[in-house]
Structure 1
Amino acid sequence: MPSVLSSSGATLPSPSKTTQAMTADAHSRLPSLDFSDDVTDDIEQDDHPGDYSTRMEELFDDDEEVEHKDVSEDEVDSEEDGGFVYNGADAEQADGTYDDRLRDILGADPEDDDEVDEVEVERSLLHDAPDVQSEAGMKPEVPHDLQGQASVSFPYPCLAAYIVTYQRGQYLNVESRTNTPSPLSMQLSLPMTPPRMDSPMPDGSPSILGKPFLHPTVSRLRSYVPRSSGVPSTTSADTIQSQFYGNMSPAPSHFSALSPTLSATNLRALSEKHEFAAHSYDESRREVFRWTQLRKLGQYIFAKVPHKASAILGSAPPGSPTVLAANGLICVGTDTGRVYVFDFKQTLKWICGDANSEKTVGPVTALALSHDHSFVAVGHAFGHIQLFDLARPQTPVRFVPPTSLAAVASGRKEGHLLGSRIVNVDFVAGRHTAIVSADDVGLAFYHSLGKVLFVDASDVLRILGKYPDEDPPVPPHFSLPKTNGSPAPPPPVRRRRSRKANTILAMAPLPLGTAPHATDAYNVVALLTAAKLVIVGLRPSPKTWYRRHRSEDDEQMGKSKYRAALAWFPSVFVDASRTAKKGEKVPPAESTVPLLVYSWGSSLNLIRVSESKTMEKSINSRTGKTMTVEVGHLTFQEAASWSAQDDVLAIQWLNPNQIVVITASTLNVFDVRTSQLVEQVHFDASTLVSPTLASTASGTVSLADARSDVAHSVRTYKGKIFFLGPHEVQVGMLLTWADRILTLVDEGDFLNAIDLAQSYYLGTAHGNKNGLPDDAHQLKAVVGERIRQLMAASTQYAFSEERMTDATHITPDGRGVDRTSLFESLTATCTRACIALDDFDFLYEDLFQSYDDAGIARIYLEQLETFILNGDIQYVPPRITQRLIAMHSEDDHPDHAERVIWHIDPECLDINQAIGLCQKYQLYDALIYVYTRALKDYVSPLVELLGLIRKVMQDRRERLLRSESSSPSECLQETMRSTVLNAYKIFPYLAAVLCGLTYPSEEPLDPDESFKAKRDIYTFLFFGRSSVWPLGEDGKLVFTADEEGGVEPTYPYCRLLLRFDAEAFLHSLDMAFEDPYLNDETQGVTRLIIVKILLELVSTPNLSNADITFVNIFIARNVPKYPQFIQIPPSALHNILIGLARDPDQSTREDRQLAAEYLLSVYTPHESDRILRIFEEAHFYRILRSWYSQEHAVGPLTPGLRARSRSPCCRGLPKRRRYLPESLSAK
């Protein structure tokens, strides 16, 4: 990878439960992967109880010689008594006899077989393990799916019918996943043997050739029986020996190790140079609020002026702040009784009260600013209320003094009692002289502060609460300013009584909003106590409209009983989502309904308020007539409820959708539409000012209550939060989605800005989403445009000349800064964004051109490749794909190019480039993919692979003619080994395509394409003479003769595959026979035609005895499976039966016997005596026992032979009563 340096210059059958348990147990005992060369580790792993290869070789070394001889009576008896059972330390304890255990494992009908055959079948499945070692000085190339794993299930069943376990450079364990020759679900397998492995030859000399292509437990022509868990599976197996290349193993395909969609783990294992730093946005560093300290304002409020200096200067000290109001102006009340009013430029505009007089009515405990920002209402600690006109702030324009119980009892006055602390005061609607107030003894009043003939005429209405039995306490030093005479002497000081349930914890009138609403005419006020919520309307006449009692038990609530808060949000206009077109009327703006949010303890509740109209009859007091009039009623809808993590101390509205909630330790933002917490930051509520904290010294207020009384220090206005602390005033802004993105852009972090915008686009972003459209399409349109702008800006920034020479690239040593990671991350980030947008124009045009112009296109291609291999991108323009493949070709990494070809859309490939590359480096899996998926050509892969097979057959012929003393060079052996490995790919290819699947992914083909592919392959493969391919003028004859210019035989391609590996070829055909394509006789090629061609080829002298045997097995097993399609003369069947019995190869005896059983189910032979003698000579004891059992023969039968035959396929034998021959009785 270059450095960019800038300076200041198909499915397998489900195994049985026992087999599953056996496999799971074997996997659990496998050691972990370790590629070190430590000898001690090797010894420990070789002695591992899960590795049975050495033990099985020791146990069955002598069995190979006995396997080809007649079993003596003593040996058979000993085997029948117990059979072979593994008794190792990890063996499962089995109850019952060997027959019982075998019956449990093999299925429903194991009783039809005798122990002799079971032992023979068992022995036939035991094979020596190869001593496979990696080449000296080289570590084996392990498929990526095998790295870091003990066992791997391959993604393609057709290519991996058994699991291969890799350990210490050896493939130790091969476990078949197939239980018996079965339908299409048993797929062709391709052992994943490392490409450079040595295995011993029969003479002991090392050979570069691996094991054979097809394992006998996988071949559909074999008679494999599942093994019990007591007998471990072998580590490797000998299969049919094909002349000089019988030990050949196919090449490991890159496609077997790479699934179409690689996992992230596999991607990390591909190559270090493909790793990139994912600039995913780090939520831990996310800024939620942006805070600003109002320092200029603090110079007035928090000025520390000594008392002596104030006396000398003749000015009163400012005192300490107690409460805050911020709606248009910033008002701060102090404990000296004065109110300081600032504008938002932090300029001190007014001081309410005589700034030079120490005569006040006590500390300010409640504060409100009128709707038009012209009047200030102030509540004090001992029940006084003052109303200031900011035009004349020195003296109050209205003054509401407290009263006493005696005055109330006489009926002369109504109002707050002297000594009661005003806890809430606020203006009603838009009036200046109409206020509501509440105190700490549970009384709430409505004050209409008017004048009659220039004389104050206040109208006070009690709207909630009852007067206490005695007056509240007042400090002895407290004195009131004179108002119409001297005040009555204060009552004696007493400690405050415990709080009652009727204590008013919060009160607020419904303010006017930007949109008029019917509820404005009712002058609605909400009051919250520890026991109930009450909503009253003051107009047209005072009335309680809503009441809700708290449901919690007082004893269970504890301190949370007196934790409550509420806040209104008025009706406002919502921005219209659509603008009027020319000639259209502007659509009316929508408005919201008034909302009330309130809390008790940690529970939050939301109420919507609206008006409903009803027609009612009323009597006119003047005329006495009954009239029907429309009467309005307030309706309340409980919209939502949710809980915070702790008791709520204060609530304020940020906007129509969000509220800010203060608890003792957190600052929370809730979305009322979803009732979800969208933001939460740590916040210490004790840093806010409490107006009652000073009262804790006298004991009138507890410290816990004072510390939680912070609601008057929290205010919001136009989306901003104001906090009043003991030493500072702060204003905070909740960052919107656009703010967070712009913050990153301002910091120069474009990549994180793109990632953050992408998360908003996908709906995965955490936190505040206010300001984004609710409609998903509108949201994607808004955010998508922002993403495109960010990508363009970040690219321009990364490649700008100014940035390449700015101060950020200067280092002390003058060498500059390596910015490779920046350009890598830019490609990765933009790729992820384009994937999310599903718009790749910028990625493939502008971004690639910038990298190409800068000469660093390699960085772009390497990062893009990661997304291609991960399956995130399937389509890439051919010009970019061409550059990517050419880059790997130049680097001599054909395996990387093969991965790209496999994962890319075929339409994106440069076909000539891809085919040339695959042929040059022998990437036949990729070559097949290009031919079949890009060109829809299914015959060309056959032609390519048949050419390899011809080379192999020619080399075999040369080796036969070569003197034994001479041996091919090591280079030649390696070349031929690679050729053989690739040639074997023809069999899984045939199996997949003829079953209607793609190769090698085994995805279903389109029906029309599948039909054409099968037709082309069958026509080419079973054509009677050599064909020209490709069709047209440029076509050439495809030859198969071993010698150049030799005579081409009939059916050359089918014959060549039989000569190369008959079992593998017939295995593929056996699967293809199950496809319904061959049911249609009009297609030209049917099962019967194929069988007749095979019979004709068998009659010629070109095939070996082993090849003929497998052809006979194939026909014998398929004739009874398809009797309506395969009908051949009895004479041919008779010859097949005789051929199966007279083959002297003992390694295929069980396979031939099973095939004979299949054939006897539909064919009844003549000359039964002769047939029986032939079967005795062939040791087909299972067939003989079945026949004699059906005839009720009497003779010295052993207990095992008395059992019924396992197979019912011997019904074709003639029924004759006779005694068993002595030879069979002895068995």
Structure 2
Amino acid sequence: MEGELSGVPEDEDAHSSSAGPQRDSILAAVDYVEVEPGGEVIDDKEFDIPQVDTPPTLESILNETDDEDESFIPEDASLLNLETIDTYSCDTSSLASSDSGDRTHLKRKKRLQDAFSRHGSVMRHSLLKGISAQILSAAEKVDAGLPTAIAVSNLIAVGTSHGLALIFDPNQALRLCLGNTAVGAQYGAISALSINNDCSRLLCGFAKGQITMWDLASGKLLRSISDAHPPGTAILHIKFTDDPTLAICNDSGGSVFELTFKRVMGVRTCESRCLFSGSKGEVCCIEPLHAKPDLKEHPITQYSLLAMASLTKILVIGLKPALKVWMTFPYGRMDPSSVPLLAWYFTAVQNVVNPMLAFCRGDAVHFLLVKRDESGAIHVSKQKQLHLHYDIINFTWMNSRTVVLLDSAEKLHVIDRHSQEELETIEISEFQLVYNSSHFKSLATGGNVSQALALVGEKACYQSICSYGGQIFYLGTKSVHVMLLRSWRERVNHLLKQEHFTEALALAWSFYEGKAKAVVGLSADVSKRKGVVGDQMVEILFQFADRALKKCPEQGKIQVMEQHFQDMVPVIVDYCLLLQHTDLLFNQLYDKFSENSVAKGIFLECLETYILRDQLVGLTPQVMKDLLIHFQDRNMMDSVEACIVHMDVTSLDIQQIVLMCWENHLYDAMIYVYNSGMNDFISPMEKLFKVIAPPLSAGKSLTDEHVVMGNKLLVYISCCLAGRAYPIGDILDDLVTQVKHQVFEFLIRLHSPEALPNEEVYPYVRTLLHFDTREFLNVLALTFEDFKNDKQAVEYQQRIVDILLKVMVENSDFTPSQVGCLFTFLARQLAKPDNTLFVNRVLFDQVLEFLCSPDDDSRHSERQQVLLELLQAGGIVQFDENRLIFLAEKAKFHQICEFMYERKHQYDKIIDCYLQDPVRKEEVFNYIHNILSIPGYSTEEKMSLWNKAMHHMEDLVSLNPCKAADMVAIHFSEQLETVITKIQDPFLLFQFLRSFLNPRGRGCAAEDGGSIKPQLGRGPRNIRHLRPDLGAPCADCGWRGTGGSAESRGAHLGRPREDPGSGRDKGCRRPGARPGDRGRRCLGAPEREQTGLPSEAEAVPATLGPTRRVQKRFRKSGEASRLQPRAGAAQGKPRLPRAQHQRESGEEG
């Protein structure tokens, strides 16, 4: 093996012979690389390479207008005839590329529309025309063969299938041609290339396993290495490390070797060491960690890390100071044809910069963060993963946030690593990308490789894609292409060239806010960034406005013109407001739009949205004037009012706006202008009172407009007293107390400023009371809640209460309902625990006398209802209860009497209240049943009510015989004879007994729709002798009584026996039945749907409500109640209800 003699490393020699430019980027390097005197130079005449008069610089090419819309056409069309170029090299193009051919019109990029609309064009594509043309020329003229590999540093090296290495400078001029076709015939195609950091050395790996090193300054061959790895295998990868004397190679046997270059006594040598044997698992991808010059001192660089990917796992090893494996990461099942990929990048995680290794295979990308701890140990931690829906064949870091992936369908995917969002998709199949399949199959040495490695090689393109200085170079079979991230300004301008102004503004705004992805060329300083982008957006806005006016259809329907400007003007307004350039909006831009009447109208109308959202609070006087005129002309006064209440009106002509608002009935806007423009909270009330007071004082009906004004006045007063601005917002904190006091003082004025001699006192309170007593008192009640801790406000409360009493009690203009509202309001205030109001009790007595006046029968129910609300609100404490009852009885206020008797537990007297009330008298049955059934009442209370009901039995029967019969069956069945004796009228007795014995047979079902309980089967022993036929079931309805023979069963409700003449059963002959009604429910049967007197489990409450409410609903079952005597029944005491009665069983009670 070459280099067995030990010696000093070759560092000095390597550096001393370097004459190449030291630059960070191809774009930055625009000067020619000087050729060292005496070095080998390509003779253009010898190789017949065409001369380029003025070779274009790479920078100029990359800055050319985008070539996306044109196909690649070489300068010399004859160069496309490549049929006889290669006679012994293998095809290097992919299946996806080979079918593209020499198409005249190729669609360069097919982007996803959604990503494009959000991010614009992120990547810029350029064709390196000079290099592409010279590759084709070399293939044609000197039989250089097709391109097979590319390496880029400050120079561009392209290897060919005939063993030549073409070196181009940054201006795309051919600098060197290394090797010749004879060498190519011996060594085969160049399969791998690598340029060292200082661009002084080039390593070439060949398909037959040979390795050569060239001096890029002189073009001299420095080393030819044939024994660095086992013979018969192709070089798949060869990589310089950051140490110029150390390189790594990977062959088609899957082995990895370390190459150490030395120079001993002028003799260059190379020592080889096997790092990984292919017998342990074939490695098909290697990647040493390279650090930029500013990161050379990073502590992790001293380990000279190398990442290797085999078909089953990845390894991270350190070559220095001694060989050590730092990490092994096996991956699970993968598609065997998928390509393993590795890529390093230094990135900041938690403000600490460390290298991150990206590993891809199949559709997954793993990110591994490599850190060194204080002890010197290397730790590798997994970061967020990417899971994609396509097979990845190349991975490239653009920066720490943006990566570019190439899938097996030859589509580029630009991905934001943090959000995992796909920013752009570009199809590059027209590049006719070179693939390394033949080298992975080692065809040049007989194909002695494993089947697994050959399968991976189908998609391998390691040597045809490389990145340098933020650019990605793609080697095609006939051309070289560059992709790089566009700068932020380029991305915006790219959209502007296509007249996509809305998208350009949206993209620029994302740069302005710092939310854009894949950003290039912007300062990290927020203020600087916003300044630069903001200026650019202002330029775009002017361009957009000019285009909107220029492209406006000159003829056609007005709707077409309106739609044209509606698509553009609001966008311009939106971004002006976002940039806070209202001066620009209302001056230069507004002047532009004013040239077109349609555009001007759309501009003014679109302002409404921003004003209502409080995004625009001020307009210039000219714009405000035009806005009001425009809306008035189109009868859009509601929009005017909505806008005014959201604007700062201090800079406007307030008197003009107030006049306009008043003339157009814009009361909200008028009040707002007075309040916010002049801090005047009284004048709006004076203007409104002047309009609504005269008709109210004259007793005239109000118009709809008057009602609207009155309602707004009440709401306005409520807002002022609550510290709220009208119609929206809040009053300034330093004005809240002042406004409350001003409003109170205004309301309690003795007279208005322009009072007539006959004006009554307190005109404003009087007007509001006449307008809506209840709502005005509600406003005061809410205000009193807020004034608990304000001493002066407490004084206002007492004063206004005194005024209310004076106005309403001493005046006969108010209805009982209005007076009752006042005293209900007072009763609630007085009932509060922290009450400070004082009201003379005599006034309550006067109100009571007024409401209970027996001489006035008008509004009887209204008076009673008002007094009832007053009592329920707590006013009861203001009255003598005995006198209240006396007056209520005298006035026939039966509900008031019921309320008072309920408080005194005199439930028996409530029966009289119901019987004497023509409206509610039938509710007495429910009331009696509730008291006797619901727990919670004492025995004495129930007994007194029971006796009272017995006393009024004849009255109850005359009221409703059916309900009375139900009530007796439940609560008075043991005293039936006494009940009968109480009913003196024979006809009433007949109706009662008929209903009691046959409740469904005589119309009770129809009458009893509002009864209080399902009808009961009658079962007491003391009535059985009256109807011995009861108890047998009806053949139609199944109703069962308590006894009787089969003969009597057939006679139930006229149920006939079978007609002997027809031999057919004619059905149940109930009243109203039709022939053939057999099977229908008999009206004599106890239906579950019908309701009668409830049991103790389901008592129905009385309508009024003071009685105790029902606890549970009666279960609607087919079972009726049966009666159970309570203790003492044998002594003749009345019996209270108990359990149920099974009518199916015929069981006796």
Question: If the TM-score is normalised by the length of the shorter chain, which range does it land in?
Answer: 0.5 to 0.7
- Give the match for residue 215 of structure 1: none
Partner of 1:1023: 749
* Alpha carbons 2:344, 2:355 under 8 Å: kept: yes
SS of alignment partner, residue 1139 of structure 1 = helix
Kindly indicate whether the alpha-carbon contact (under 8 Å) linking 1:851 and 1:857 is maintained by their aligned counterparts in 2.
yes
For residue 606 of structure 1, report the CA deviation from its aligned partner: 3.7
Please tell me whether residue 399 in structure 1 is matched to residue 399 in structure 2: no
Q: Determine which of 1119, 1135, 1139 is the counterpart of 2:846.
A: 1135
**CA displacement, residues 1115-1169 of structure 1 (integer Å, 9 cap, x when unaligned):** 3444434783333233211122233344624356434312233311443245356
TM-aligned CA deviation for residue 1008 of structure 1: 4.4
Does residue 754 of structure 1 match 2:567? no
Tell me the residue number matched to 1:710.
461
Residue 1008 and residue 709 in structure 1: after superposition, are their counterparts in 2 closer, same or farther (change >3 A)? Answer: same
1:688 — aligned with what?
A: 433
- Structural mapping, 1:630-1029, within 5 Å: 633=376, 635=378, 638=381, 640-645=383-388, 646=390, 648-655=392-399, 658-665=402-409, 667-669=412-414, 674=418, 676-677=420-421, 679-683=423-427, 688-693=433-438, 700=449, 704-747=455-498, 749-765=500-516, 767-774=517-524, 778-792=525-539, 794-795=541-542, 798=545, 827-851=569-593, 857-907=600-650, 909-953=652-696, 957=700, 976-1001=703-728, 1003-1024=729-750, 1026-1028=751-753
* Per-residue CA distance 1:319-373 (angstroms, 9 max, x = gap): 3332221222222223322223333433333332214666231222211123333
Cα deviation, 1:288-327, whole Å, max 9, x if unaligned, reads: 212122344333445697xxxx8xxxx6633333222122
Distance across 1 between alignment mates of 2:546 and 2:381: 57
CA contact (8 A) 2:645 2:727 kept: no
- The answer for unaligned runs of 5 or more in structure 2 is 1-112, 913-923, 933-943, 960-1149
Counterpart residue identity of residue 527, structure 1: M
Q: Secondary structure at the match of 2:163?
A: coil
Counterpart AA for 2:752: S
Alignment of 1:528 with 2:300, yes or no, is no
Give the drift of 1:1177.
4.0
| Secondary structure at the counterpart of residue 194 of structure 2 | strand
Question: 2:886 — aligned with what?
Answer: 1170
Q: Partner letter of residue 1128 of structure 1? A: V
- SS of equivalent to 1:999: coil
Q: Distance in 2 between matches of 1:391 and 1:1051?
A: 108
Give the distance between the partners of 1:364 and 1:829, measured in 2 at CA.
57
Please name the residue that 2:1004 is paired with.
Answer: none
Contact 1:387 1:398 survives alignment (8 Å):
yes
Look up the equivalent residue of 2:671 and give its one-letter code: I
**The residue matched to 1:397 in structure 2 has which SS?**
strand
Q: 1:794 to 1:872 in 2, by over 3 A?
A: closer
* Cα distance in 2 between the residues matched to 1:304 and 1:1149: 115
Q: CA deviation at 1:1102?
A: 3.4
Superposition pairs of residues 368-447 of structure 1, within 5 angstroms: 368-390=194-216, 393=219, 396-402=221-227, 415-429=228-242, 431=244, 434-447=246-259
Within 5 Å, give how 1:1072-1111 maps onto structure 2: 1072-1076=783-787, 1080=791, 1084-1087=795-798, 1089-1111=800-822
Deviations 1:815-843 (A, max 9, x none): 99998777666653343334333453433
Q: Secondary structure at the match of 2:293?
A: coil
Report the equivalent of 1:126. none
Letter in 2 for 1:289: M
CA drift of 1:935 comes to: 2.9
Kindly indicate whether the alpha-carbon contact (under 8 Å) linking 1:536 and 1:544 is maintained by their aligned counterparts in 2: yes
> Aligned partners of 1:535 and 1:399: how far apart in 2?
29
1:515/1:977 CA distance change after superposition, 3 Å: closer
Task: State how far apart, in whole Å, the 1-side matches of 2:216 and 2:532 are.
Answer: 48
**Secondary structure of the structure 1 residue equivalent to 2:385:** strand
Residues 1191 and 390 from structure 1, CA distance in 2 versus in 1: closer, same or farther, beyond 3 angstroms? closer
Letter in 1 for 2:844: L
Q: Deviation of residue 1047 (structure 1)?
A: 0.6
Tell me the secondary structure at the aligned position of residue 881 of structure 1: helix
2:911 and 2:948 in contact (8 A); partners too: yes
Q: After TM superposition, give the deviation of residue 932 of structure 1 in Å.
A: 2.9
2:277 counterpart of 1:466: yes
* 1:350 aligned counterpart, secondary structure: strand
> Residue 324 of structure 1 corresponds to which residue in structure 2?
150
Tell me: CA distance 1:1175–1:1005, structure 2 relative to 1, closer, same or farther (3 Å): farther
> Counterpart of 1:292 in 2: which secondary structure?
strand
Residue by residue over 1:857-896, the C-alpha shift from the partner in whole angstroms, topping out at 9 and shown as x without a partner, is 5443333233112332234345533442243234443222
Q: Using the alignment, how far apart are the partners of 1:285 and 1:595 within structure 2?
A: 26
CA 1181–591 in structure 1, closer or farther in 2 if over 3 Å, else same:
closer
Judged with a 3 Å threshold, the aligned counterparts in structure 2 of structure 1 residues 606 and 662 are, in CA distance, closer, same or farther, namely farther
- Show the counterpart of 1:621: none
Q: Distance in 1 between matches of 2:154 and 2:785?
A: 84
Aligned letter for 1:982? M
What is the percentage of aligned positions where both structures have the same residue? 22
Q: Deviations over 1:723-782 (max 9, x none)?
A: 1234432211212322212323444555543332112223444x31344445xxx23531
The Cα RMSD (Å) is: 4.3
Q: Which amino acid letter does the alignment assign opposite residue 548 of structure 1?
A: M
**Comparing 1143-1152 and 692-701, the one that deviates more:** 692-701
Task: Please say if residues 505 and 564 of structure 1, whose CA atoms lie closer than 8 Å, have aligned partners that are also in contact.
Answer: yes
Give the CA deviation at 1:1048. Answer: 0.7
Unaligned runs of 5+ in 1: 1-278, 403-414, 469-499, 573-589, 615-632, 960-972, 1029-1036, 1040-1044, 1206-1216
Give 2:60's aligned residue: none
Aligned amino acid, residue 1094 of structure 1: L
Distance 1:1199 1:1161, change over 3 A: farther
Contact 2:262–2:269 under 8 Å retained in 1: yes
Q: Distance in 1 between matches of 2:286 and 2:207?
A: 16
User: In the aligned structure 1, how far is the partner of 2:662 from the partner of 2:475?
Assistant: 78
Q: What CA distance in whole angstroms lies between the structure 2 residues aligned with 1:634 and 1:830?
A: 58
Give the partner amino acid of 1:567.
A
Distance 1:390 1:1096 in 2: 111
Change (3 A) 1:705 1:1165: same
Conservation of the 8 A alpha-carbon contact between 1:924 and 1:982: yes
Query: Hey, what's the Cα distance between the residues in 2 that align with 1:810 and 1:923?
Result: 38
- The aligned residue for residue 354 of structure 1 is 180
Contact 1:871 1:903 in 2 (8 A): yes
CA shift for structure 1 position 544: 2.5
Using the alignment, how far apart are the partners of 1:1058 and 1:1166 within structure 2? Answer: 32
Shift of the 546–935 alpha-carbon distance from structure 1 to 2, 3 Å rule, reads: farther
Alignment partner for residue 366 of structure 1, among 177, 192, 214? Answer: 192
In the alignment, the residues of structure 2 paired with residue 1112 and residue 809 of structure 1 have an alpha-carbon distance, to the nearest angstrom, of 70
Supply the AA of the counterpart residue of 1:1146: S
Give, in whole Å, the separation in 2 of the partners of 1:359 and 1:724: 22
Does the CA-based 8 Å contact 2:316-2:326 persist in structure 1?
yes
* CA–CA distance in structure 2, aligned partners of residues 458 and 652 of structure 1: 31
Query: 1:1130, 1:611 → 2: CA distance?
Result: 89
Greater RCO, 1 or 2 (C-alpha within 8 Å, sep 6+): 1
SS at match of 1:904: coil
Q: Work out the CA distance in 2 between the residues paired with 1:770 and 1:1223.
A: 100
- CA change 1:507–1:984 in 2 (3 A) is closer
Deviation at residue 927 of structure 1 after TM alignment:
1.6
Q: How does 1:75-154 map to 2 (within 5 A)?
A: none
Aligned AA (1:1053): Y
Verify: 1:513 aligned to 2:293, yes or no: yes
Q: Is the 8 A contact 1:952 1:979 kept in 2?
A: no
User: Residue type matched to 1:287 in 2?
Assistant: S
